[in-house]
Structure 1
């Protein structure tokens, strides 16, 4: 094969070898400020309380929505200043940046817009940074990234600053800081505890409440390492000249046991912008936290991964019983009172090896010392085994003890699928399911939702009077610590919509943490009318016809700890118009290397396919877990509501567990509606059923009605005959009914 490069063609044809592409729609300009007006003037004299600032109008210039606006105002005295954040989600947007000032607490100073960032729905941004000296960038080397265009490029720099003249007389004495209450310790859980104390700052003129001081605990270990913990500080009580701060410091177990701890305070500011700091060392004050050193309550901090059928579990922690203690296990799908006593193969105060028996079902384990003090309870899952899909009412799943990679029902035969050992059934399009006995049915494309990536679809089934409804919704993103405890949760309620094509749409939404915009989520939805093969995470995946495909990506996220993970919660709902003589059931299973969520009503099911792979940091492929959240896990988040399941309406919440990552992550679920060869029966394990309501009469009922009717006619005739028996006219009638009565009696 001969390969000719561009250099060859260029040498032959010159500029004609270049491919030039022209477009009439190539608007790439960043968002801008189209109007900037001072609320008063750029020179203000404070004689009374007054608000200074700007009226700002932002325009995308091309009919593109503005997604995010950040503006930071500082002064020559106040470098912390004031920050303003907005999420407009409109093409043209107006707001007021206002700062309230008082002549009694505000010294003369110059305020200015220090920096600003505006981002549109395409991700294109404009940035303004005060005194940005481009020459300094080019003096040594070329910039790595192009210089951003300022959103204020239409306006003169004189509009950016406001000079405030105030009668307030500044003083030079900084405020004082006093430790009001001595630090005391309190156990939060088995792995950390909190230190609480109060500070008070006083000033002759006034304390600036907008400046919250930074408080630290400092401790030097026996090895010479300096250990510093930053604390959370909140204003507890305040007056004009006094401010009380309530301080909480979360520290690791054992902190401060070896050597005393000192308290450091920075950044108490008065209204004259005098800054004060404090060190308990300078006051000859240090504190000992030895109260926990004598506590012997056992605690489990980690454990080794558990492979299927491994009968030994190694746990790590502290204060494990070396003698006279015990360990217990109970399965997550059984009563907590059904405890299994475990044998210690090895035990020290920090590590224990337990004999747990062979199995695949998830379980909870904890230890207990001779004083009946219990450790924390940890839930253990076997590697490669998905979490049980059933709820608390039907969580006893016999199949959970079997390997989830077996092939069932011969994979529907060679025309439907093939069995891959240790993987499961590999189904041929349009068949699906763990046994390939389900077939994707053709349904109409869902209506386009321009407000969120929630998909709602209602359609009739051809040849019947049944209507089906499907709903898919991306609900929330949770940050969990290494114990599975929720650190932060963000609910998605605002999205920016973009149309790529008639079958492809994208949505983007900000992610908040502590009310701060920290990251973004992007969702691309694509409708596949025909069977398609795609590649994701180096896997060739078959997309069945009439399938809705999601591509979900998350930007860099500020994890509170490198041990923390994320949980993306997706809601699915399936509803049928059939209400009589129908059963509904749900399932969650592993097959063909993927997790399958199934909501089945009668002979129809709604299937979600969750690939157990994710791409993180651009090119790294990792294995992830997907699980069906049960009722208890949903109840811990009161904002997430779950409709009650019935025989013709089912819902599920799937959690996609995202590992810790640095820059970005990409996920790939899909959804389709199937026709099942096997109906959801009343004796199915977690079925919800309704009885048949029939208006037709049974055969026995019809026979009884006929007999009663005939007897009634005979009795009526006999009555007439007896009544008129003396008349010669009724003699022939009497003879007829007598013969009829004899024949009826002989027959019945």
Structure 2
């Protein structure tokens, strides 16, 4: 089976639209050159550009011998730039850039001259061909696909046009080159919004700079679907705020860029219905349409209305469609922007100083109100974004002064600068230009050699040997990733080795020294001469196209995502792909695509296949999940693939919204504090709603409007004061007291996560514009936008004068004057003492000590008040652990900000302030490079036996310890034979016992040096590798294992002796509990299977009477034991429908059964509820028999009765979120009533059958039940859950009689449910009194009860209904 794959490029390929030819005009034996690493792709051609950009490297050779050198290199075009030369002047490397006009040829003379006046002249002929020489028409019959709210087409072109385009863009449409003869198009908004009906073709005419056009026509995305699948008109359109489209709308943004939005409900079986909310009439810019809730056929979407800059009325175009036509309407509204105050700066002072270390300091006053924004500081061409209180020297939020200090040092540039602004506002004053103190020579770092070490997937360790005259400062990968000196594994900053964890796909790396001299290396560049060494990753040179895949399939294709993740393994069979090929997979569903989680594809030598694990998150979107592979510089999607390569979600209810505030109540708003009321509490009650996934955790930050006093609240779903995780009330309280200043306390930041880690976020002062924020359903249509009404509480204080007086710094001390930032212990403690301001300090506020490096990296230490009993004295202290290599090489300067008094003012001390009080305002750094340090681990699944850890100085490790997080006991010790090494910065640990709980890893080197502990959080993965053969389409009678088999959590091994002793059982090495030796059974192996005669079958309902025979300790029949009658009744009471909160919707009680005998040992019972039929088949086993149910082998013990329960017919659910619950009743009573106890237990079994157990016990007799957590539902293996309902259904229990209700919850089904319970008679050695506080006893003491054996009944699997009368003669 061949798979048809289409390739999508990620990085532009080297397309040769530029034609070049190098000709030697004059020759010499002394000088020659060659063109190296030509690059046309980094500055690619667009349809509106009329030139080509080309970058060369030119290698010049000088063979003149000793004393000869290249004295001049001239061209008739741009000037070459020397990159490096050899020490003997024999080789030179230049970079050379050209810009060539379209449809022209450029002839360039390159002249080389030696110091001996020897010349060699070359001629370079460079041509830039136009990408389109004539008008072209492309007709696309392939249907576009949807990804990340956009439409995409992949299409072929003729062979002669295979280098037509690098990139084409026009009004939102983009066309990119793909692989070989394929092209990739992104459709713009107006291209898909042109027709009069959904199925009209799409068209885009792309114009080029030479006047030629490319006309692309495609089938509509909606033309792919049947008419009955096309969406109807929206059933509901709601605006938030509700008056947005009224006759006189006015709305103030709910925070900066938090625009109003529209919610649409559409009865659609298509993931992306036709719905456009455009910001202009031409619809060249449209709002994203995000699916948030619903099921196939009933979906809810949201789209926001981005506000304009002015406050004028704005018109939005809303286009919607039904199956037959498209309609357009205009929404007229008016926005009032939530405006942030701009900085109004007056620079007070700026200065440089050299003692005790070079520093630059600046002080400025801001007279505009401060609204909790961050500030972007730039100095020495480095940036740092920091929020309050950094730099705030004195004042309050109405008028304040800042004083900031940074380290000044010699720089590669003659001048440097300092500037600051509010990010995204650009409101700062002009930058200050600062002269460099010295002239320095350009001596950038040099790469001597390198090595790529592959770790896993696209993860590599790049080892670089370097030299640097000025000392290396950091590495950079492309423009965004900076690597500090924690990657230095050998030598020092002048000559050493870096090892950098790097993605295999990157554009360049950059080496930067302490003077900011830098050098770039791109793949293909020459890094050294004699011999020539190029910077290359060999694995990136291996190509891949669709012919490499012979087969691709998944462990399952049909996914059920209702309230559970699905665990998938992809299998790839290839006879062509190298085993070390770079290949990763991504799933692009609406839940996962925002994180772009990479799943490496690894060759499995045992299977002879490539495999990739991934998880499809619960409550996801319906339909096909898009799957994407990335290889080196390119990637590909599946196209027209067979069913085996499709991931299809058939059962799901989407929840993509995140937790939302459904109600907010203020507490103590406008609280008045006076002499009679000196203490108070203000805050909020938040009702957080997340009806399907459930709320998981949150963070809320509150700040004072006057003094920026800050309160941080972290909370989880367990912290509700009422409700549950689906709808719960959470309380946030702030204590207030006199003396104080009147102000508002305002919510300035919110993060709420659900159990699927979907985030709803609110940050009104950062310019961030989330589509989903927690307040979205509480928008108010008012001048204030409702913002102040919900997010602020006011405190009114007695008349109290402002207190601008500054505290006096008495002392500031650090526990270390120099710190080794390469050791495990990088802790430092700071202590400072002050005389507070006149009004005293706010004791519930914590000043922050800032540590700032030369690179403007900032690290915080939040202090604690350790002595504040006296109004005239306060002492603070804090201890922190610095990040690895922080501040090295150089000093870390210190400052203190955020001291708040009771008079509404804050204060701080800059580095210069600390130095002026004879305190040491900085810490020096050193760094040890041979200390083993563990920093992180690659993704570790709970069923993996291998763990990859990254760190530094790991090459001499010979022992690994795995520790329990809670007890710190060692769970496993692994030696050198279990360790594989990746340079000095990575190890792979093999033979790990799989674990789904947190654990700590510690390593020990040959010299017995221990590392730090690294905490590993396994990603739960519940699937045993299966389906390793290409799938065969199953017949209708073959169930499909669509969900993973539920697995019981680890359990302890009970019993004294443990597990009954070695003759009865032993403790599992993998933590599953006791493994019993036949015929023993139970959690502690204290129950024993016994033989009893077949029961008498009841012909009225599915109940049985098992005859009781007196049995002694050896399971032998005895006539001497007195008869004791035990009556056990087990029945199915009803089927009831429940909603997502497990509240009852309907309840159907069973009362009549139809009996049919099948054989002597097999009988059948039937009943019905509405259109649903229930059939129970009872079968007795006299001997031990193995059976299979739902792909799981089960052993029927002797004297076992098995129930096969089948529910058929179409049950009509009232809501798509509802489930079905079968209620089972069980009772157990004894004829003995004196000196007796009863007990009920329910939990997980330990026998490997992944079930629940129920044990109903009176005295020394019990009824024991198993409930398997899976069933066959509509031909698929699906999970079911079991729980006790005693508290809600009012069971009545006594010492001699006990009752219980059990609910078996099953997901929605279409046609059929099958379950297969069984029951066996056991002899047990425990009595009910052994369970202590959980037992119910009569007035006599339970301590004197008999300890003789117990006869019990075990119930296996998921029992829906049964009635058993047990008469047991036993003492």
Normalising by the residue count of structure 2, what TM-score does the alignment of the two structures yield?
0.23
The structure where strand makes up a greater share of residues is 2
Normalising by the residue count of structure 1, what TM-score does the alignment of the two structures yield?
0.41
The structure where helix makes up a greater share of residues is 1
